[in-house]
Amino acid sequence: MGKTLWDMEIEHDTHAFDVFSAEQADLFTPTTQSPTAARQALYERFKTRISHNPALDRTLVSFQANKKQPIFNWFAYREGFSAALVRYLLGKLHPQPGVLLDPFAGAGSALFAASASGWDALGVEVLPVGVYAMRGRAIAGRIDVSEFAEAIKRLDGVDFAAYYDGAYSLHHIAITRGAFPPEEERQLVGFIGYCQHVIRDEDVRALMLFAGFCILEEISFTRKDGQYLRWDARSGRSQGKRPFHKGPLSPFRAALMAKVRQIAHDLGAGTAQRSLFGCESEAEAFSLTAHTPTVHEGSSLTILPTLGAESFDFVLTSPPYANRYDYTRTYALELVYLGYGEEKVKQLRQAMLSCTVENRDKRAQLQSYYVSLGRQYDFDLIDATFHQQEALQEVLGVLEAYRAQGKLNNANITRLIHNYFYEMCFVIFELARLLKPGGIIALVNDNVRYAGEEVPVDLILSSFAESFHLTTRHIWTLGRGKGNSSQQMGAHGRTELRKCVYVWEKA
């Protein structure tokens, strides 16, 4: 397959992206026309496709609806959507099972819910945290429940600290150092050593280690909060004007035993297979064994171009949003647990779809990669489509003017928006190529706003889709949109942004 974008990344240089480059700034000179004219024209083009879908709400189109479902609530992957949403979209848009693709698979909601409904499913995920969660879920579907229950009994009375082995110690990065009380971290590392040295059954060992992975936030001084880890005042980290108090921290042993017993209970229930995979019938649960999802670990930017054309009937996904959330920071504890050090985390951050102010431009890497695949023509087409999207260029011009005036709270926001849409243009081209005639793409995303300026993500991405010969059937909105941040409300008032499910079809 040749070099990947990861392989071709230049050495990390923290000074390389402190300011938006002069060359890039020249591309975004505002026009003399109305600063919203192109966006208004794009809205007029798509407004008949925009409609409120009363079947959708924020609970369904988020992790919230998974909280009561076994395995989904073992590990709180907050960026995922619900299995109920997957069943709704498949049932409404493509009732006949076929082959499904999720190019941003997360923790696997789409893959496993589709598999349970008889679909063959393939996912791509670059964040090791999601891949690990999907592997844990796959193991849960095949594990010998009695063996796992016996292994839990054997944990009683075990002094995990006695199994402490430096080979399994956590190699902390700057943003996780001091995350656990020292005695609890020693118990955690000792538990890893116990699993590796004592538990012989590979599936039981893997599910036990997954249980440890699931409780990291619970036993730490941290709490996931949007794009950050919030630190409890007891951590010793510097605090802001309003120190955060998380409440009682769970001791490692108590948290671990609660988690493994929860898993055992869910696995041992009389309808375990049906409830585990969110199935509504025994037939759906049985079908799962014949449709185990396939997962590719890596970037969709490098994996999608290698897949065969017209291979999929349905694409269901939710890409990262253009909202500055850095998942390598949000899930830093889990990455450290999986053995990721400082340099690997930096590389991972750059390999992910650009959605933070730290992501570098991937144009040169993408061009080199497409040339290596013999697809220079496709690269040129995608590149031109991006630059010809007038509403997007309008947004970039306005944001760049704001940057020059000091109105952006980070000088690299314009670059974030540029890189995000540039890479999504490549993703959408590949999805159109991979979709069978008559196939459907359903994509969940939010619009965003910076310095009061709305970025109509739904309309721009739908414009890309139509440039690649897809038809926009629906832009379904939720009854209640997404509010802007407290900082923006103070400066620009309280307004809502569309939170949508886009539905595109290939003729």
**Range from 79-88, 333-342, 489-498 that averages highest in pLDDT:** 333-342
Residues 97/118, Cβ–Cβ less than 8 Å? yes
Give me the number of domains the chain comprises: 2
Q: Which of 302, 176, 265 is nearest to 228 (CA)?
A: 176
Residues present in the chain in total: 507
Q: Is the same domain home to 179 and 55?
A: no
Which residue did the predictor score with more confidence, 5 or 240?
240
pLDDT for 14 beyond 90? no
Predicted confidence at residue 40, as pLDDT, reads 96
Residue 308 lies in a domain: yes
pLDDT for 499 beyond 60? yes
Q: How many CB atoms lie within 10 A of CB 311?
A: 14
pTM of the predicted structure, to 2 decimals: 0.87
Residue 387 lies in a domain: yes
pLDDT for 506 beyond 90? yes
Predicted confidence at residue 212, as pLDDT, reads 98
Residue 155 lies in a domain: yes
- Give percent of the chain with pLDDT exceeding 70: 83
pLDDT for 217 beyond 50? yes
The three-class DSSP label of residue 477 is strand
Q: pLDDT band at residue 16, thresholds of 50, 70 and 90? A: very low
Instruction: Give the DSSP per-residue string, 409-430.
Output: SSTTHHHHHHHHHHHHHHHHHH
Residues 397/29, Cβ–Cβ less than 8 Å? yes
The three-class DSSP label of residue 279 is coil
Given 274, 289, 315, the domain boundary residue is: 274
Which residues constitute the domain of residue 230? 141-274
**What are the CA-CA distances from residue 361 to residues 260, 350, 353, 418 (Å)?**
43, 9, 11, 9
Q: Is the same domain home to 28 and 173?
A: no
Q: Is the same domain home to 268 and 359?
A: no
Q: Is the same domain home to 385 and 456?
A: yes
Predicted confidence at residue 253, as pLDDT, reads 97
Q: Is the same domain home to 478 and 362?
A: yes
Residue type, 440: I
Residues 504/465, Cβ–Cβ less than 8 Å? yes
The partner residues of 228 in beta bridges, in order of sequence, read 225
pLDDT for 287 beyond 60? no
The three-class DSSP label of residue 257 is helix
Residue 479 lies in a domain: yes
Which residue did the predictor score with more confidence, 4 or 14?
4
Q: Is the same domain home to 37 and 162?
A: no
Residues 331/214, Cβ–Cβ less than 8 Å? no
Spacing of C-alpha 81 from chain mean position:
10
Q: List, for residues 57-75, the tens digit of each pLDDT value.
A: 888 887 665 556 666 678 8
Predicted confidence at residue 71, as pLDDT, reads 65
Q: pLDDT band at residue 236, thresholds of 50, 70 and 90? A: confident
pLDDT for 82 beyond 90? no
Residue type, 317: T
Q: List, for residues 91-123, the tens digit of each pLDDT value.
A: 999 999 999 999 999 999 899 999 989 999 999
User: How far is 219 from 231, CA to CA, in rounded Å?
Assistant: 12
